[in-house]
Amino acid sequence: MADPFVIAGREFRSRLIIGTGKYPTHQIMQAAHEASGADMVTVAVRRVNVSDRTKESLLDYIDPKTYFLLPNTAACYTAEDAIRTARLGREVGLSHWVKLEVIGDEKTLFPDNEALLEATRVLVKEGFVVLPYTTDDPVVCRKLEDAGAAAVMPLGAPIGSGLGIQNPNNIRLIREQARVPVIVDAGVGTASDAAIAMELGADGVLLNTAVALAQDPVAMARAMKLAVEAGRLAFRAGRIPRKSYASASSPLEGTIAAARVG
Amino acid sequence: MTIQLNGEPCDLAAPATLADLLARLDIDPRRVAIERNFVVVKRDHYASTAIEPGDQIEIVNFVGGG
């Protein structure tokens, strides 16, 4: 059954979006991307090292024909910095998509939702496709959607924490109300976390650290691909209701056991 | 002339355009974006954009991130 993943009119093959940071080497990143089956990858926008030009470019290891590049505004703490970074990212990548981050706290990297909303409004007005990274708050997600966000990207847990989906009910509520794709962004630690996000109804999962810092990033990338697919299938298949007591799967009649005398 | 390049003071022989600056730094213009005094300069305007003393120039590229 066709189940296209569409954001702002653009269709993606994979519901897994994967990062490009923190891999042991560029070569391992490239192999992990391939194993993940993803066709969208995130990148950060940073100053060029003007005194040392010897470093290899990340883009030598990402084929633009295979991967759609999604620049982020990571490490921006004000709407103004995030807007400037988004504009620069558009110029490097020549696409008007941005993963919008406005960080509000250094320790948790939780977003500053007030500044995030402000930056979303400005960038939407400038024609950007804005994918905001936000807290798992249904009200904030609704406001972002009203501001013109092309998707909402609630966190499952703090960035890089690997804690998994901390508030499954909020993700479910966000999915219920949203008219745009819901992408769980951050907090995934292992494959089951990605599957849970998808089973809750998320349209996609964005992750980086869980793959990049796994002992075998390429194997973990494949695990994430399968988990996202499995979770999506299970969501669409419709799970059974939870019950407190057993309900036998095998017939109760015809057993050789002696009938109990009550 | 002295400019601010990626947050550091930088001496640059005048006159110079943004295209000259990239050539002197051996940077491929297709891989970067430039902001001059907080405004992004389009790639096809690098050769026609003169750098003035005191300009704040940011040259950025894509790096790994999540």
Residue A53 has pLDDT above 80, yes or no: no
Total of domains in chain A: 1
**CB contacts < 8 A (A, B):** 104
Which pLDDT band holds residue A57 (cuts at 50, 70, 90)? confident
Please compute the mean of the pLDDT values over residues A34-58 and round it to a whole number: 90
Please identify which of the residues A22, A65, A99, A243 carries the catalytic annotation. A99
pLDDT value for A259? 66
Tell me whether residue A99 is one of the annotated catalytic residues.
yes
Cβ within 8 Å of residue B46, ≥6 positions away: B17, B18, B19, B22, B29, B34
Q: Which residues contact B27 (CB under 8 A, 6 or more apart)?
A: A48, A50, A53, B59
Task: Please judge whether A92 and B58 are an interchain contact, meaning their C-beta atoms are less than 8 angstroms apart.
Answer: no
Q: Which of residues 150-189 of A touch B (CB under 8 A)?
A: 159-160, 186
pTM metric for this prediction: 0.93
B27 touches chain A (CB under 8 A): yes
pLDDT digits (tens, 9 = 90+) for A68-121: 999 999 999 999 999 999 999 999 988 999 999 999 999 999 999 999 999 999
Dihedral Cα B65, B35, A82, B30, nearest 10 deg: -30
* Residues of the domain holding A195: 12-237
Q: Which residue of B has its CA nearest to A100?
A: B66
In a domain, A105, yes or no: yes
CATH architecture of B2-61: Roll (3.10)
Span A173-232, pLDDT tens digits? 999 999 999 999 999 999 999 999 999 999 999 999 999 999 999 999 999 999 999 999
CA distance A132 to A135: 10
| Range A18-38 burial, b when 16+ CB lie within 10 A, else e | bbbbbbeebebbbbbbebbbb
Q: State which residue of chain B sits closest to A20, comparing Cα positions.
A: B64
Reported confidence tier of residue A170, pLDDT bands at 50, 70, 90 = very high
Residues A4-21, mean pLDDT to the nearest whole number? 97
Identify whether A262 is part of a domain: no
Is A98 inside any structural domain?
Answer: yes
pLDDT at A94: 81
Task: Tell whether A89 is covered by a domain.
Answer: yes
We report the CATH number of the domain holding residue A62 as 3.20.20.70
Can you give the residue ranges of every domain in chain B?
A: 2-61
Question: pLDDT (tens digit, 9 = 90+) per residue, B2-46?
Answer: 999 999 999 999 899 999 999 999 999 999 999 999 999 999 999
Where residue A262 falls among pLDDT bands split at 50, 70, 90? low
Sign of the Cα pseudo-torsion (B17, B19, B24, B27, in order): positive
Q: Which of residues 3-22 of B touch A (CB under 8 A)?
A: 5-7, 10
In a domain, A197, yes or no: yes
* ipTM, interface predicted TM-score of the complex: 0.95
> Burial level of A122, CB count in 10 A (0-12/13-18/19+)?
middle
Q: Looking at the domain assignment, is residue A248 inside a domain?
A: no
Would you say residue A95 lies in a domain? yes
Considering the domain boundaries, does residue A254 fall inside one? no
